């Protein structure tokens, strides 16, 4: 079935709630507030309005397959010094039951033209050194390993990849 990467809308509330019960992919969502508040938050973050300290403008998208959300993808419009080391331009996650089906690869593929529209010429991505699914999704989309770095805060090694647009 075809996966579509897009922003959640008011019509997606029920499938969104089902997805976050399975896996908390959307940290911007507060279940004590109406769904419309979440939608307003992600619209504002995309425009750079009311950003938390040290945040950058970000596009928050979901991968939809039929009547299900299979994952989340965030595109950071620019990088802070910290994001240049860990995080990069794109972060994504797939709900566990949908993993190993190519959805991370497809979400990343669909995100690259959006990055280009934002004026990003070289997309930077990172993942834990042992996250095979993540780095395979990156490599399938033309990413090349740029560096391996130590995340001292988490005491882990991370892979840093680049994709030239």
Q: Measure the CA–CA gap between 23 and 20, rounded to whole angstroms.
A: 5
Q: Measure the CA–CA gap between 74 and 51, rounded to whole angstroms.
A: 15
**Is residue 1's pLDDT more than 80?**
no
Query: How confident is the prediction for the chain on average, in pLDDT?
Result: 95
pLDDT of residue 27: 87
For 104, phi then psi, to 5°, come to -65, -45
What CATH code is assigned to 3-164? 3.40.630.30
| pLDDT tens-place string over residues 55-77 | 999 999 999 999 999 999 999 99
Q: Give me the percent of the chain exceeding a pLDDT of 90.
A: 89
**Is residue 8's pLDDT more than 90?**
yes
The two structure tokens encoding residue 50: 């009311």
Q: What is the pTM of this model?
A: 0.94
**Is residue 38's pLDDT more than 90?**
yes
On whether the CB atoms of residues 142 and 90 are closer than 8 A, the answer is no
Residue 107's Cβ-side half-sphere holds a number of Cα atoms within 13 Å equal to 30
Residue 111's Cβ-side half-sphere holds a number of Cα atoms within 13 Å equal to 34
> When comparing pLDDT for 86 and 142, which is higher?
142
**Is residue 100's pLDDT more than 90?**
yes
* Selection from 101, 30, 29, 40 nearest residue 65 by Cα: 101
Query: So where are the chain's domains?
Result: 3-164
| pLDDT tens-place string over residues 103-133 | 999 999 999 999 999 999 999 999 999 999 9
Q: Measure the CA–CA gap between 128 and 26, rounded to whole angstroms.
A: 20
Task: Return the number of other C-beta atoms located less than 10 Å from residue 86's C-beta.
Answer: 15
Say if strands 156-164 and 3-6 run parallel, antiparallel, or are unpaired: unpaired
């Amino acid at each position: 079935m075809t996966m579509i990467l897009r922003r959640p809308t008011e019509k997606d509330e029920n499938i969104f709630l089902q997805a976050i019960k399975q896996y908390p992919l959307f940290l911007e969502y507060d279940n004590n507030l109406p769904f419309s508040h979440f939608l307003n938050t992600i619209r504002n973050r995309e425009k750079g309005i009311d950003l938390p300290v040290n945040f950058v403008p970000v596009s928050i998208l979901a991968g939809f397959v039929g009547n299900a959300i299979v994952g989340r993808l965030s595109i950071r419009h620019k990088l802070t010094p910290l994001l240049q080391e860990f995080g990069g331009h794109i972060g994504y996650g797939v709900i566990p039951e949908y993993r190993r089906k190519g959805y991370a690869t497809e979400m990343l593929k669909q995100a690259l033209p959006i990055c280009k529209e934002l004026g990003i010429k070289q997309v930077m991505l990172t993942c834990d050194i042992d996250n095979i699914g993540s780095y395979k999704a990156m490599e399938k989309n033309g990413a090349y390993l740029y560096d391996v770095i130590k995340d001292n805060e988490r005491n882990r090694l991370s892979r840093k990849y680049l994709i030239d647009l």
